[in-house]
């Protein structure tokens, strides 16, 4: 489980990358490899996502840092302050294993499970936080 003093360099670098993009006026959905082999997903415009979070694939290094047994799922690298995910209690370092009962093994699975979500929809996530598995449900809201 993450503690405030954990040195999650890879997550920190990804979070800094996201912070530099927050002021972009029109962010579109982008799925694919980038030069640093990460995948980005934005669910709407104005730099905020419908879910109020940013996720990345779980690399072997991130899996090691989070004490995960594999690289299945996606890891939350940023939770938007006052966003739907923050209000539901999601935290940086949470691993998303399911979206609305659809298994998430990769960024492509996550994108497929979230692409049709719209404002007002209910979403249920199966999370892994440390050694705990928990379900979190909340309403999708425009950022």
pLDDT one-digit tens code per residue, 72-126: 999 999 999 988 999 999 999 999 999 999 999 999 999 999 999 999 999 999 9
**Model pTM?**
0.70
Element (H, E) at 99: strand 95-99
Tokens of 24: 């972009």
Query: What domains lie within the chain, and their CATH numbers?
Result: 9-139 (2.30.42.10)
pLDDT one-digit tens code per residue, 7-57: 355 566 555 554 444 443 333 333 333 333 333 344 433 445 688 999 999
Cβ neighbours for 4, distance < 8 A, ≥ 6 positions apart: none
Task: Choose among 120, 69, 73: nearest CA to 99.
Answer: 73
47 in the Ramachandran plot: left (φ > 0), alpha (ψ -120 to 50) or beta?
left
- Partners of 99 in the beta sheet? 102, 125
């Amino acid at each position: 489980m993450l503690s405030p003093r954990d040195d999650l360099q890879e997550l920190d670098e990804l979070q800094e990358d996201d912070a530099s993009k927050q002021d972009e006026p029109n962010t579109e959905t982008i799925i694919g490899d980038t030069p640093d082999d990460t995948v980005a997903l934005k669910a709407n415009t104005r730099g905020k996502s419908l879910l109020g979070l940013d996720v990345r694939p779980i690399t072997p290094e991130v899996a090691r840092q989070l004490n995960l047994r594999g690289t299945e799922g996606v890891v939350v690298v940023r939770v938007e302050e006052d966003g739907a995910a923050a209000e539901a209690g999601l935290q940086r370092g949470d691993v998303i294993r399911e979206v609305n009962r659809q298994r998430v093994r990769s960024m492509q699975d996550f994108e497929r499970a979230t692409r049709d979500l719209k404002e007002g929809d209910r979403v249920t996530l199966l999370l892994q936080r440390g050694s705990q598995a928990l379900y979190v449900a909340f309403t999708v809201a425009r950022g």
